[in-house]
Chain A
């Protein structure tokens, strides 16, 4: 009714005029309004209480849309920059940067594991203290209840969870390191093969140039003789024998040149073959050397990590369990305390794992980019991109929520039974888009 009133009320004011003609007009108009005739007949055969909204179009009319567009442009700009071709790196640069990325990944994993272990320790102690307090409050000796210096089942569960997390981290680390090292080996092999191909191509071009030079030199050396012979051939007075003799000399001259060029070409082909073999052997040896080095590094990294995880797990010794027979209410309270601290630990551990995963994703993207596979932003640009995407999502959500609220309000006021978004075609129903745009715009005027 909101929009109907807006449309008709100014017209109804005309009823104040006294003439009979106008009075009759007023009666007609009032009847029209009373019979529910607005710009849409919601319950007609064509509409049947159904409306739809082109939300994408409404968003473009929202007062916050320019800000959303700015964020979209900034995101597109970062993505565009990330997709631009970069100067190729040498195998040494790739190896150095790979090493750096691996160090960052290892640091992130150590950080996550340290956080988890520290939380496990802190919450285990806090829970233990809370349990001791609860048991004391019930008038029971904590030592008799099995709550001496040791931590209880929660600590045990947390230790198990931390151990499982550490094992999982190690497995992930192992997979990641092997995959990255394989990719690094592949990349280095490609670079070395390409360098060998370039050298071979340069040598082949040099040989071709030499052959062309020889051909030209011979042609120049024999040019006067050839010209003399051709001049003789063009003389009509030559006998057949003389003509044959001159032709033979010309042919011999061509053959002499061709033979020399062919001899050089054959020698070049042989030299090129030998050079190809030599390059192949050199490249294979270099690749093998790099592979051996990378495999050794992989082994060392995995071994170091395995030792670190082992040490961490040894530090998470299991604790004895409270065995005393406790009254049901105390056991219930201890259960609550256990749940409370287990939930806190899970939340913190989850956060640590999520932070690690975010770092790992970024490092993976940097690794892919390093090997010419990635087209996404990395490093500082990736962080900026994430921030922008979050702001864009938040703003988009804010705009959409307001549109949703207004659409619901309008739908109720106008009496629709259902309103859709994302409609492909609409031979029927009512398009609520313009009403919504008008509504959104008028609210911010």
Chain B
């Protein structure tokens, strides 16, 4: 009886060891998030953006007048670049100092709370530390802000710059081909749409058109997207990251793996 009990106990312990937690690992608690739209609603930002909008309206008039005087495509390009630069300079002048102050505030608050990554509120469904209020208070304060003493700790959350990856020649070529395909298909389906006699037929033409575009998109872009996802997952695994998000959603910290993913894709 005793032997049977011991054997059962051994079996239970063995089972627990086999199907219990693989390792005792600390849960991820160094993730913060911030509501960037709340920051954008601060009076200082609203005022700067209003000034920028007024400047843009004024610049648009000057731009249109300058373009009317352009004789060649080169002239037009030169004028476009000149006005873009003027707008960018004004943007830096009006919003730049505020943006820098906000970045410093986020860095300081994150460091004091020992956060390794701060993301935009939009991508956090549950959990994480909300630092919006602290950052707003720091930005509103009148005192000068120093850079944080320490860099953020290495994070298990990685990020990849999707826009940089989308700038690759392959993706651009595929996008161009898709646009050409769409431009070629539109008149064909437009004619069918015009000839459709009732709503049901029109809906059918629309559905056919959308399917044609989606099929072409799958043919041209999906292989590239899959390739990028695979490369991202492989790099992330090699760096022991838990998750990878888009750079556009990361406000502070995190582990940038964009270059590694680009290297993997170029192999």
Contact = CB atoms under 8 A, between A and B. Distances in A.
B27 A28 contact: no
B246 A422 contact: yes
A418 B156 CA distance: 13
Interface string A52-96: 110100000000000000000100110011011100000000000
Given A44-B25, A408-B126, A425-B158, 11 more contacts: A35-B19, A47-B242, A48-B28, A416-B126, A417-B29, A422-B249, A424-B160, A425-B232, A425-B244, A427-B241, A429-B243
A179 B232 contact: no
Contact of B245 (A32, A416, A422): A422
Given A31-B15, A77-B202, A422 B209 contact: no
- Counting chain A CB atoms within 10 Å of each CB, the highest count among B126, B162, B243 belongs to B126
B127 A84 contact: no
- Counting chain A CB atoms within 10 Å of each CB, the highest count among B11, B206, B207, B232 belongs to B206
Interface residues of B, number: 58
A209 B29 CA distance: 84
A407 B21 CA distance: 24
- Counting chain B CB atoms within 10 Å of each CB, the highest count among A73, A175, A186, A421 belongs to A421
A81 B162 contact: no
Contact of A45 (B20, B23, B209, B210): B23
A411 B27 CA distance: 14
Nearest to B11: A28
Contact of B64 (A182, A421, A423): A182
A35 B243 contact: no
B124 interface: yes
Interface string A5-40: 000000000000000000010011001100111000
Given A179-B64, A420-B123, A44 B162 contact: no
B15 A28 contact: yes
Interface residues of A, number: 52
A418 B206 contact: no
Contacts of A41: 21-22
- Counting chain A CB atoms within 10 Å of each CB, the highest count among B25, B127, B233, B237 belongs to B127
B190 interface: yes
Contacts of A194: none
B126 A49 contact: no
Contact of B125 (A35, A43, A408): A408
B118 interface: no
B8 interface: yes
Contact of A32 (B15, B126, B160): B15
Nearest to A79: B206
B126 A424 contact: no
Interface in B57-101: 57, 61, 64, 68
Interface string B145-162: 000000000001011101
Contacts of A429: 242-243
A interface: dominant SS? mixed
B206 A73 contact: yes
Interface in B1-56: 8, 11-12, 15-16, 19-29, 31
Given A48-B25, A418-B31, A27 B127 contact: no
Nearest to B162: A424
A46 interface: yes
B138 interface: no
Contact of A419 (B12, B22, B126): B126
Interface of A: 24, 27-28, 31-32, 35-37, 41-50, 52-53, 55, 73, 76-77, 80-81, 83-85, 175, 179, 182, 186, 404, 407-408, 411-412, 416-429
Interface string B162-204: 1000000000000000000000001101100110000000110
Contacts of A52: 243
B203 A73 contact: yes
B31 A424 contact: no
B243 A425 contact: yes
B122 interface: yes
B123 A31 contact: no
Contacts of B21: 36, 41, 43-44
28 contacts: A27-B12, A31-B15, A41-B21, A43-B21, A44-B25, A45-B22, A46-B22, A48-B26, A48-B27, A50-B242, A73-B207, A77-B203, A84-B190, A179-B61, A411-B125, A412-B126, A417-B29, A419-B125, A420-B124, A421-B122, A421-B124, A422-B123, A422-B246, A423-B245, A424-B245, A425-B233, A426-B244, A428-B241
Interface in B116-150: 119, 122-128
A175 B57 contact: yes
Contacts of B221: none
Contact of A424 (B11, B20, B127, B229): B229
A280 B243 CA distance: 67
Contacts of A24: 8, 11
Given A425-B229, A426-B233, A417 B25 contact: no
